[in-house]
Structure 1
């Protein structure tokens, strides 16, 4: 057992040295972590090959009910893709994939560009701003709320709730936020049921059916809306923020991108590898005893797959701590791997590319204005609360 509870703020500020020391000792460890609800013991996978294999291993279940434990969000919200295994996962993903198509995402391109331009029109005359508040947050929250049909008047409250859910300050506030979220989503779904066809994604999910008449239940609709709203904006907020921070603290890389805009896709992908917005995949549970890299995992044990740790594994990526937008990043795990690969990956990439490219084009003198704000707490989301910039 490796006790990481003493790492505290160091693990929050920069977990990579900690993960590097763990990788030197082996790819899998039993660790003790400080979490909002107290101390938690789990298996932590830090090696790339082991993480990639674990992400696709059917013996590592996402449905914790198989171990007799149902987490808070599932109790209050309902079943959703990240806490389901086949055949239930297959059914749920099939239903949402009918509404959340690549064609629908690509049709959003002009709207994403328009929102980005409007946000920069409001931001740029001031000469300085917090980039999280001014661009990185409002862009994806506007896109996902418009896509799902969340009223504009609800979005400020939604931000407070969702941030507390993904990066809770303590167990009580996390529970309160989850209760509020469940109540809100129930009301939103009922309103859309009564309104008839609305043309938005949530309205389509309410009405979508398979050939055999299958459709999502209320609990499943609430769970799907919860997942799409949380995953559809929190991750993209921090992808944009982390990318801009990485570029501003690596001036040679920023200069290369400014000189050659075709490197933009590489900059987004390298950010996903080097400082992706998801530090660790959500918990998996051993449905049966198994071994990972020689470690014996007992039935019912928690397994935390370290995405940030795996993507700094020098056995997979040469000189892994170097931020290099020309790097071949194929095979990175920022969006997961296997059947739980992120359904929203194309939308996240599209939003990040448009936001970063347009920002750099319209703010040629962009630079840091002060130290970034604190890194978010917890082991799930990796990003800063604020990013002061000027131009």
Structure 2
């Protein structure tokens, strides 16, 4: 696809052109294999919930784009499964991410946010990704799972190597996968030696006492996915939201004046600058027609969440950030049975992160250094967010 470079730097402009010319396009994936790109809201939403579109790579036709390849111990996760296996695994962890459970986590999340912001001092400059948007979610998800402090490694380096491979270091992705596999193997062994009252211990107990419900590969893959997705997507959601507000001071002023608007603001911020450009690839189990285009069984379908969320037929004037907009129904966190498992937690963390940031910093602005976007065709997130802050005040 000739627009690949533009997709890295101006994704919404490219998607607008594609969406206008045709709802579905034949493209080339990052591995050089062909795929179909779907761009319009109604088509993307319907496809996300279509049982004919499988996440199981065994349905992929030879020569089609298949996405990231992981070893079996990390690959047996929810992003590669259909019912009934998907239903079985999701049920095992779903209780940890219900709205009710998340509400109990709000106080500790706020305490962590205040601690991170308090460490920044009275005034100065900081990379808000490194100092705030990244450590907050990893602390929350590690606390939820029960990952000891001594095991909290540099997940961001690993996930960056997978999401945005460095062309100058082609072995980085393989090295990251090997490091993660070693890490999770060591972590599982540690938790078996020293069980505790946490989600990871509970999952290990299910595996060790009810092996017919959870295989060893599924256990490790599940923990990998919870850490990987629960951390990375929220980093991007928080960072993107803060940048959007800094770039739209009139909208920031609205939530400063009335913090009760933050939950609805988060929905519009997620629509406007969500954490993912594309959903996980799908493979039709038989020939399907999307947007009037026939797609043969086994070929790869890529659903553009960001293009759908900027579709003017669903959201009028979609390129304008409007915190007064009803953004209900956006697709930033997916739709259907594969809707983001951690969505309630991601929303809560983003709401709390914004509230704490705006409450503590009366004066927050971008520095002269431009924020850098991660060079990825799938994820939408910042490498850094250089800001200047002045006039801090302690949290109430």
Residue correspondence of structure 1 range 146-157 to structure 2 within 5 A: 146-157=143-154
1:232 partnered with 2:239:
no
Residue correspondence of structure 1 range 80-159 to structure 2 within 5 A: 80-159=77-156
The CA deviation at 1:104 is 2.9
State the SS of the aligned residue for 1:358: helix
Contact 1:13 1:374 in 2 (8 A): no
Q: Distance in 2 between matches of 1:112 and 1:59?
A: 39
Match of 1:354 in 2: 352
Per-residue CA deviation, residues 179-238 of structure 1 (Å, 9 max, x unaligned), is 211221122112212223x112111111238x9884322101111111100110111111
Runs of 5+ unmatched residues, structure 1: none
Q: Distance in 2 between matches of 1:343 and 1:168?
A: 26
Contact 1:285 1:300 in 2 (8 A): yes
Residue correspondence of structure 1 range 226-375 to structure 2 within 5 A: 226-375=224-373
Q: Distance in 1 between matches of 2:171 and 2:255?
A: 44
Q: Distance in 2 between matches of 1:84 and 1:74?
A: 15
Moved more, 83-92 or 184-193: 184-193
Residue correspondence of structure 1 range 163-178 to structure 2 within 5 A: 163-170=160-167, 171-178=170-177
Moved more, 327-336 or 212-221: 212-221
Contact 1:99 1:205 in 2 (8 A): no
The CA deviation at 1:74 is 5.0
1:205 partnered with 2:198:
no
Q: Distance in 2 between matches of 1:388 and 1:350?
A: 24
The CA deviation at 1:99 is 4.2
Match of 1:20 in 2: 16
State the SS of the aligned residue for 2:122: helix
1:50 partnered with 2:43:
yes
Contact 2:70 2:177 in 1 (8 A): yes
Q: Distance in 2 between matches of 1:240 and 1:98?
A: 24
Match of 2:26 in 1: 30
Q: Distance in 2 between matches of 1:61 and 1:7?
A: 26
- Structure 1-normalised TM-score? 0.93
Distance 1:204 1:103, change over 3 A: farther
The CA deviation at 1:127 is 2.0
Contact 1:207 1:215 in 2 (8 A): no
The CA deviation at 1:254 is 1.0
Partner of residue 157 from structure 2, selected from 157, 160, 173: 160
Contact 2:61 2:297 in 1 (8 A): no
Match of 1:61 in 2: 54
Match of 2:183 in 1: 184
Q: Distance in 2 between matches of 1:100 and 1:364?
A: 33
After superposition, the CA RMSD in angstroms is 2.0
Contact 2:372 2:382 in 1 (8 A): yes
Moved more, 185-194 or 74-83: 74-83
Q: Distance in 2 between matches of 1:239 and 1:53?
A: 24
The CA deviation at 1:103 is 3.4
Aligned residue pairs total 383
Contact 1:243 1:267 in 2 (8 A): no
Contact 1:99 1:204 in 2 (8 A): no
Contact 2:279 2:302 in 1 (8 A): yes
Distance 1:259 1:101, change over 3 A: closer
The CA deviation at 1:68 is 6.5
Contact 1:20 1:309 in 2 (8 A): yes
